[in-house]
Each structure stands twice: as C-alpha cells, then as structure tokens.
Amino acid sequence: MSFAGVRCISDRILVSVTKQEDTTVSGIALAPGAAEQAKTSTGKVVKMGEGRVAANGEILPNPVSVGEYVKFRDFAGSDVKLDGDDYVICRMSDCLAKWSE
C-alpha cells in the first residue's frame, strides 16, 4: 500500500507516529527493545477525511488540520505501514489534544 493511494474517510485521520526514544525525558535509558514494544500515541496529522456526518446529514469539519500534532488515546486506531513508514488511522473522537510546532 502506498501513501499516495490512501484517502481517509469521514472523521478519520492518518497520523505519522512519533518515533520512540531510547531514553526518557529525564535521561533514563530504556531497556533494549522497550522502545519498539511501547505503542506511540502522538504524531503529526498527514491526511484526513472530510469530517463527521451529523444526524441531520450535515458534514461537521474535523477540528484539526494537516500539519498539526495530536495526542490520541493509547491503543486507539489501526497501525498501518505505508512506503516503509509507520502510521495510525484513528477517529477524531480518539484525539485528546492538538498542538502546532
């Protein structure tokens, strides 16, 4: 599956996940393999659907934009590998926060 061929549907977003570090923020080294086993729950929005469909049929736009960063629920969404890179496809309702860098 290629990145260019993916199109998100409805309120789903495609997130390029942040790589796990080998050390914590405070400088503690993680055990070998621990970073690979931990599931990342932050990343950059790279594609998104048109928005959620309301009960009256109106499309409510997603509250994030491509290029913003999000924190989503742990273990939310589906992991996908596109062109060798790791991504997560999740619903907007799984996102807890957003920010720009």
* Confidence (pTM): 0.82
Contact of 7 with 34, CB cutoff 8 Å? no
pLDDT value for 94: 95
Cα(first)–Cα(last) distance of the chain, in Å?
29
Give the homologous superfamily in CATH for domain 9-99.
GroES chaperonin (2.30.33.40)
pLDDT value for 93: 93
Spacing of C-alpha 45 from chain mean position? 6
Q: Could you count the other beta carbons within 10 Å of the beta carbon of residue 87?
A: 23
- DSSP-assigned beta bridge partners for residue 45: 15
Q: What digits encode the pLDDT tens for the residues 3-61? A: 999 999 999 999 999 876 666 667 777 666 655 555 789 999 999 999 999 999 999 99
pLDDT value for 29: 74
pLDDT value for 19: 77
